Structure 1
């Protein structure tokens, strides 16, 4: 499920980068920033207590498309949010002579808990309507408050094994399945069936643009199924306090719920959403949530992006053959 806008929006890529960070005015070592992982670790061994972090940002927009498109009064805004605390900070960025959009955003420690998400939104006047959203960054940064290593936490184990003849005998009853998601361990695992002809070789291969696009679509399908299974398992394993209210789980289940609940029940706070899904599971209405859970899982797996890329690649391939 992808949002359809009744006006033209950007199709080009929007990139955001944290160029430097200061904790209470003290520069953070560059080793605490990772462009590869798009993450910042704010918890230093030498300075575990601090009040505010200032993030210096640089954003690249599709300038040619902006110049040729039907948009006026373009504004680029950076937004820092954390679902666990409902915290939100927004700052307007400025366009530099080099074509970048730059600015600084302040994160206040007492307004956040463990992990915040940093993204970019582009707004403009369209059809005489101001403030319309025309684009967002597809890959936000993660700001880790309690980590010393700037890396995204692993969310899935990928295990390649033969379901028919492999050492995991419990998988043999699923020998015709191309993959299976297991959520019973400390880390959820996607088992890829090496006995399913061509599957693992295709996922690990290279090839032409069309093949890469189809691979992306397949990987997105696997990821969406995994996120759906993880969410359902996390809700099913919730423990309750003395008053019967659900408690936040530990480990990967906590991360999955905090990540997906804002998309499953966007009109509720994160705590109320947890209570609501628990009530739906125990008292009725769970099936009505399934389309929303599927939508949230598809967003995490970037299904819409991968399908769009695949369709475009196949369309170009057909036109080339004509």
Structure 2
């Protein structure tokens, strides 16, 4: 349902992105700031004890429209919130070189796990100050703790011993390091704590080689998760009376809209959904799509970037050992 606002609002879009991040004054690698997934993965820095993170934010708002309309005292703000701690931080951005920018400070002691980063435009309208006249459609996620770089709103991560844990259905998979389950309302990655070395590598901190291998392991898990979620979303599609597939809700909608542009880039999302459904239901051309699905999943998990990091770290380590 579209919310009715009893005052004029601008037509133009409001967008923003995180352009960089620092942890205790040290710049984070850009691989920890995913423009594709709109996630800042602070946990991937491998620094367990830190005091403060700083996020550089850049926003675009319809400045010309706002300047010529009934809005005055226009302010652009970034808002950090976390449900678990009921914490909220508001950062005022400043106009700069055709955009708006600023720095959001994240004190470690004020937050627990996952923060939502949103953006709003506030102005005086009809003599009333402080009215929200526009918001960015897409938010960012600031992830403090999770070990697997996948957006946590649509994914649950469960660490459990498959052999001796409380879930009997996992025991036949006791030799698997992880398992992706997509049957519930929220997909789950089960990490097998009984598989030696998995959780240790995912939590590797100080050693550069172990940290790089841990990132590669995390991206492989994420690739498997994306692949499994995509197949589950396609298999659960509902059709209307004319046999046209309908967009699902929840995480299935998110997965399909995220991956279809990489699988069928020449088609619009709606046409891509129709093509995917037709190929799967008619078993014609479905197998030819599997490499594209795998490619799309690996892109979402950033496996190429992390594999490159492992190769460089191992190469440097090899040179040091023989030098």
What range is the shorter-chain TM-score in?
0.5 to 0.7
Verify the 8 A CA contact 2:78 2:120 in the aligned structure 1. no
1:155 deviation in Å?
A: 3.0
Aligned pairs for 1:140-179 (under 5 A) are 154-179=153-178
Q: Is residue 288 of structure 1 aligned with residue 285 of structure 2?
A: no
1:173 deviation in Å?
A: 1.0
**Which protein has greater RCO, CA pairs closer than 8 Å, 6+ apart?**
1
Verify the 8 A CA contact 1:20 1:30 in the aligned structure 2. no
Instruction: State the match for 2:118 in structure 1.
Output: 40
1:47-97 CA deviation, whole Å, 9 max, x = no partner? 5765xx7xxxxxxxxxxxxxxxxxxxxxxxxxxxxxxxxxxxxxxxxxxxx
In structure 1, C-alpha distance between the alignment counterparts of 2:121 and 2:274, rounded to whole Å: 31
In structure 1, C-alpha distance between the alignment counterparts of 2:121 and 2:253, rounded to whole Å: 20
Verify the 8 A CA contact 2:212 2:313 in the aligned structure 1. yes
Gaps of 5+ in 2: 1-28, 36-55, 67-73, 81-90, 92-102, 107-114, 123-129, 142-150
SS state at 2:79 partner: helix
Instruction: State the match for 1:31 in structure 2.
Output: 79
Gaps of 5+ in 1: 1-11, 54-106, 108-113, 117-140, 143-151
Q: TM-score, normalised by structure 2?
A: 0.60
Q: TM-score, normalised by structure 1?
A: 0.60
Verify the 8 A CA contact 2:230 2:256 in the aligned structure 1. yes
**In the comparison of the two structures, how many residue pairs are matched?**
216
Instruction: State the match for 2:298 in structure 1.
Output: 298
In structure 1, C-alpha distance between the alignment counterparts of 2:246 and 2:300, rounded to whole Å: 23
Aligned pairs for 1:119-134 (under 5 A) are none
Q: Is residue 214 of structure 1 aligned with residue 213 of structure 2?
A: yes
Aligned pairs for 1:174-213 (under 5 A) are 174-213=173-212
Instruction: State the match for 1:18 in structure 2.
Output: 57
1:276 deviation in Å?
A: 0.5
SS state at 1:29 partner: strand
Instruction: State the match for 2:100 in structure 1.
Output: none
Over the aligned positions, Cα root-mean-square deviation in angstroms equals 3.0
Instruction: State the match for 1:311 in structure 2.
Output: 311
Compared CA separation, residues 304 and 182, structure 1 to 2 (3 A)? same
